[in-house]
Amino acid sequence: MTTRINPSILAADFANFERELDRIATADLVHVDIMDNHFVPNLTFGLPMVERLQQVSPIPLDVHLMIDDPDRWAPGYAEAGAASVTFHAEAVADPVGLARRLRQIGARAGIALKPGTAAEPYLELLPEFDQVLVMTVEPGFGGQSFMPETMPKLRRVADAVRAAGLDVWLQVDGGITVDTIGVAAEAGADTFVAGSAVFRGVPEEQIAALRAAASSHGHAHR
């Protein structure tokens, strides 16, 4: 199984994004958190920033939309060239319709679940998605502590993906460090968002350490 490390630029130096992107060139994708101060109580970037990041990033963009009305706004991020666009189950009106639209444009379609959101209503829809993001913190702010109580939900999604023989990436986001990544890997995650754990040290070394920690623990139940 492939292990993907997607550093979150929420933890990067906002004044030097091009330099920061070059520092994480050994990662798989760069995780871009879009927050609108409505769906979550924080405000980050919008489409113009993503368009510019797309022009200078050495690795593909993994866009995470923590916004209201993704049915309206998400296609624009796919059109801007993002490799993956993930919207929240709690905010979307037509998850299947939106996922199909994103795929039609050429992006991978992802659906994200807050810690309190059950996975069961979405398990039968898994063939419509390329990625499921199980939030391991409440979305809206970086630097929060990993919530191990989300792992049973991750296992249920992983089991359903495996049972259906699907190629769906299982992403976790929130509190991922070298100390917590193994727990998520054992529960079935293969795609890991890490912010401060990457940018507070030497990113290339941190990415390698995270990758090694995930690979040594990963996919035990598969």
- 169-173/4-7 β-pairing: unpaired
Distance (Å, rounded) from C-alpha 184 to C-alpha 52? 32
- Angle at 87 (CA atoms; ends 97, 110), nearest 5 degrees: 75
Decide if 33 is catalytic. yes
- Cβ 21 vs Cβ 52: under 8 Å: no
- 167 contacts: CB under 8 Å, gap ≥ 6: 130
Catalytic choice (28, 36, 173, 190): 173
Q: Which amino acid, one-letter code, is at 218? A: G
Per annotation, catalytic residue among 33, 36, 62, 190: 33
Report the distance separating Cα 157 and Cα 166, nearest Å: 11
Token pair 């379609």 in the structure block, residue? 109
Phi/psi-derived region of residue 54, left when phi > 0, alpha when psi is between -120 and 50, beta in every other case: alpha
Cβ atoms of residues 210 and 31 within 8 Å: no
Q: Which residues are catalytic?
A: 33, 173
